[in-house]
Structure 1
Amino acid sequence: MTIRELARICGVAVSTVSRAMNDRSDVNPETRARIRAAAERHGYVPNASARRLKIGTTQTISVVIQGELGQLLIEVLEHLGLAFADAGYDTVLSHVAEQHATAGTVERIVREGKFDGVVFLGRYGSADREASSQLSRRLAEIDVPMVFCTTPDYSGAASLHSSISVDDQTGAYELTSHLIAHGHRRIAFVGGGTERDGEHAWALRLAGYRAALGAAGISFDEELVVPSVLPDQLYTMRNGYESVAQWPGSGIPGDVTAIMAVCDAAAVGAARALSEAGRRVPDEVSLVGFDGLDIGKYHVPRITTVAQPLAEIAQSTARVLLATMREPDRAIEQVWIRGRVVEGESVRLLT
């Protein structure tokens, strides 16, 4: 049922139907009631997008996700939807393909949709720090409140946007310390990026891993940091699998007793590659991930990980964005929420 069909059924102009459905006072009450009754009877639903464009208000928030829609982002998106619904806002997912991840694309999404606020969920921009910084600065020129969720703002020391994320560095520190407490000394870090950018999640986790080794008096070995062979798919099972399967040199060193994968999905992929190489988990190689996703919980053996507090991250994101929408000039917030180590069955105690 279109607005033109409804207008024909009711014997009125299309503009009259539009005014009646928008509760305009310049429509006769009897006519408005007749049109609304017909709309309900025939299942007519107003075009919300067109209405937003016309009246310039939305009560709608756009959640922008770049690239792959992983399980973690989908779970955060669900929590965000609930939090914004409680505040009276609808949530619209705007997905941006990797090749179109530019400020121009996001600006078009925001301006055409006339959204009240934007959440940038997950990674954004490219692995290149300067390109990501430029993107963040361009986004700041869009006059719409914006908050980064599960990722920091890469624009520089004086960040331009508020951000809410798990404390990646502390989580990785505690996870590495867990391995060390179980007697492991030769611990590899697998699946990180190829650029040493200290602000990306993988780099913060690498920093936590390195700090824990130092605190335990274990020398950092650059050769045990195995970069991703798929830099555009860092947080995937395929990345974990390929990074271990294509281990530099002659393969997995025999003295490596534990592997920290960049995330749970990569840990599951790494487990497959270890199995194909004849290295059993955890009997020969212990394995940990990061995120606390279901994929790790149901893997055999269950993956030891750091669980991200996704509901808390989403609620904090909603709080900050709604506050910024009410007060655009409020101070920038950078919130780091601590995760917790969840023991599975993938770590062996060395004697």
Structure 2
Amino acid sequence: MSRKRWRSVKEIRIADVARLAGVSTATVSRVLANPDKVRTKTHDVVMEAVRRSGYTPNSVARNLRTRRTMTVLVVVPNLANPVFAQILRGIDDELTQSGYGLVIGNLDNCLEREPRYVDLALSRQADGILLMNGRIPGDGTRHMDEAGLPMVAMCAAISDERIPSVVVQDREASREAVRHLVGLGHRRLGYVAGPTGNVIEGERYAGFRQGVAEAGLGERDFVRWEGRFVFSTGVAAAEAFLRLKDRPTGIFAASDESAIGFLKTVRAAGLRVPEDVSIVGFDGIEFADYIEPTLTTLQQPLHELGRMGARVLLKMIRGEMKPEDWSVRLPLTLLDRDTTGPAPGRAAKPLRRRAV
């Protein structure tokens, strides 16, 4: 590019873009600052003029005027978990549409990592915060909410009336998992748990217990194995299962990873799935459809969950919250695949896919 051409691009102003698009300078400013508040046709015309002219918006100056960073902090318990990876994609897609970026605060399941993100919030390096860890991070003396920034709890609700929540219907879905197994004739069940004290685990186990009670079963009719939402938990649970004389025939794992670990271990021991034991997971991660046999699971709308969480936070930032935005609970879908079948001695039932 010539020196003359370089200068001409640098000298382009917002008025030039407005003339090229055939709109006012105020309209151009509105499209660049709040793209979600203009009509699609207007947005497309202005952005085409921006591309054709080579205009570069001075985002730094604009953000200084509005005192916004155009950044959202997302606190994630463990970035290696494929569930959070899919949710983050949804968050990023929604934020991008409004000109926002994100900073990922990966706790890696370590409390020691919280102080760095508390500092980030208190120094107001973000306009809002999405919490996926089920609690307000702290550093021992200060907590993230002291920053006064808008916050939204995702995946796990937080008991604070100032913080809206966007979650899935964990309890209802877990109850449906029990109904599914009982409907196939399973009367002896197993539950592979998540972390003790975890909000999500509490909801899923409560739903499991409700399903057990609705089926007319009791404490003696199921076995619980403690653990976390990881493959190794499923392996340990399966090893304990194999040592039992009176084994459950229907297993519900509180995560797909633990369900897959359970599946691999019992098959390696010579058991047939689902002929000898049926297994239901929870999450609907992509990998669950590529194992053999394919995993029956409760599929979370992970991408939509991410988008909805970001959407609610943006409403908080703009002061546009409505009563229904404070508690959003999304349904799941039961994917009836190859790891569930009739209990031994029961007739087969057709495969189904249904919303919970």
Rounded Cα–Cα distance in structure 1 between residues aligned with 2:103 and 2:249? 45
Q: Give, in angstroms, the shift of residue 68 of structure 1.
A: 4.2
SS at match of 1:221: helix
| Amino acid aligned to 2:163 | H
Contact 1:191 1:240 in 2 (8 A): no
Deviations, residues 103-160 of structure 1 (Å, cap 9, x unaligned): 5332212245611111123x355xxxxx98999x93322211111111211xx3x543
> Which ranges in structure 2 are unaligned for 5 or more consecutive residues?
4-9, 14-55, 347-356
Q: 1:286 aligns with which of 265, 278, 296?
A: 278
Rounded Cα–Cα distance in structure 2 between residues aligned with 1:333 and 1:151? 13
Report whether the alignment pairs 1:343 with 2:342.
no
User: Aligned residue for 2:128?
Assistant: 117
| Amino acid aligned to 1:167 | Q
Deviations, residues 291-343 of structure 1 (Å, cap 9, x unaligned): 11111111111111111112321222122101111129876712211101110
Rounded Cα–Cα distance in structure 2 between residues aligned with 1:184 and 1:344? 17
Deviations, residues 37-72 of structure 1 (Å, cap 9, x unaligned): xxxxxxxx9xx99x9899953212122212342111
TM-score by length of 1: 0.73
Q: 1:173 aligns with which of 175, 181, 192?
A: 175
| Amino acid aligned to 1:209 | F
1:248-263 matches, within 5 Å, as 251-263=243-255
User: Aligned residue for 2:81?
Assistant: 70
Overall identity of the aligned pairs, in % = 24
SS at match of 1:141: helix
Q: Give, in angstroms, the shift of residue 238 of structure 1.
A: 1.8
Contact 1:214 1:220 in 2 (8 A): no
Rounded Cα–Cα distance in structure 1 between residues aligned with 2:138 and 2:322? 22
Rounded Cα–Cα distance in structure 2 between residues aligned with 1:280 and 1:112? 56
| Amino acid aligned to 1:142 | A
* Count of residue correspondences: 296
Report whether the alignment pairs 1:268 with 2:260.
yes
User: Aligned residue for 2:143?
Assistant: 138
TM-score by length of 2: 0.72
Deviations, residues 140-185 of structure 1 (Å, cap 9, x unaligned): 22211111111211xx3x5431111111000011111000000001
Contact 2:191 2:253 in 1 (8 A): yes
Contact 1:65 1:94 in 2 (8 A): yes
Q: RMSD over aligned Cα, in angstroms?
A: 3.6
User: Aligned residue for 2:154?
Assistant: 149
Q: Give, in angstroms, the shift of residue 236 of structure 1.
A: 1.4
Q: 1:235 aligns with which of 221, 229, 239?
A: 229
| Amino acid aligned to 2:147 | I
User: Cα–Cα, structure 1 residues 160 and 290, in superposed 2: closer, same or farther, change >3 Å?
Assistant: same
Q: 1:244 aligns with which of 222, 238, 247?
A: 238
Deviations, residues 60-100 of structure 1 (Å, cap 9, x unaligned): 21222123421111111011111111122122222234334
Report whether the alignment pairs 1:94 with 2:87.
no
User: Cα–Cα, structure 1 residues 134 and 152, in superposed 2: closer, same or farther, change >3 Å?
Assistant: farther
User: Cα–Cα, structure 1 residues 252 and 142, in superposed 2: closer, same or farther, change >3 Å?
Assistant: farther
| Amino acid aligned to 1:281 | V
| Amino acid aligned to 1:238 | S
| Amino acid aligned to 2:201 | W
Deviations, residues 20-46 of structure 1 (Å, cap 9, x unaligned): 89x9xxxxxxxxxxxxxxxxxxxxx9x
1:179-328 matches, within 5 Å, as 179-195=181-197, 200-221=199-220, 224-228=223-227, 234-245=228-239, 247=240, 251-327=243-319
Rounded Cα–Cα distance in structure 2 between residues aligned with 1:340 and 1:295? 16
SS at match of 2:246: coil
Rounded Cα–Cα distance in structure 1 between residues aligned with 2:139 and 2:210? 30
Rounded Cα–Cα distance in structure 1 between residues aligned with 2:110 and 2:279? 33
Contact 1:124 1:132 in 2 (8 A): no
Deviations, residues 249-274 of structure 1 (Å, cap 9, x unaligned): x8244331011111111100111221
Contact 2:312 2:321 in 1 (8 A): no
Q: Give, in angstroms, the shift of residue 192 of structure 1.
A: 2.8
User: Aligned residue for 1:42?
Assistant: none
